[in-house]
Amino acid sequence: MAIVDDLKKRAKETFETLADVSMEAYKTAEEKTRILARRARLNAEITRERGMIRRLKSNIGDKYYELHKDDPEETLKKDCESITDSIARIEAKKIELEELRNINANTAAPIREEECCEPECDCAPETPEAPEAPEAPEAPEEENPAE
């Protein structure tokens, strides 16, 4: 009986040790998970704040340009002039596009692909598909000379 009691005692101690180790592993995993979740939340909040800063800076730039485009500070003069020039070029291109849209398609010469100004328009000429190459004739089966 002493052997059985000793085995029971050792088994109980082993299970208690396993329970303690499991509890410690659970607590460690729980703490690491909590830390990782907090890090993820903080990273998301930082990303949101950076996005807010980008939008606000863009709004400030837009407002500054609108308020001072005719008389900007010296350090921003070149940038404001570049923006004004780009806006003028865009407007000129929009006018040209509108003129091209208004041309009667029946009387206008077809537009060559290299003249096309819109990436997804249908003005590019269709290219005919190349004919398929004829299939090669099958080689005649060789007779077995050993027969």
Give residue limits of the domains in the chain: 13-99
Say if residue 45's pLDDT is above 70.
yes
**Which residues, including other chains, have CB under 8 Å from residue 79's CB and lie 6 or more apart?**
72
Q: Classify 104 as helix, strand or coil.
A: coil
Amino acid at 113: E
How much is the CA Rg of the chain, to the nearest whole Å? 39
Tokens linked to 9: 């005692």
d(Cα 101, Cα 108) in Å, to the nearest integer?
11
pLDDT, tens only, 20-44? 889 999 999 999 999 999 999 999 9
Output the pTM of the full model.
0.48
Residues 88, 93, 94, 96: is their CA dihedral positive or negative?
A: positive
pLDDT tens digits, 105-132: 545 555 555 555 555 555 544 444 544 5
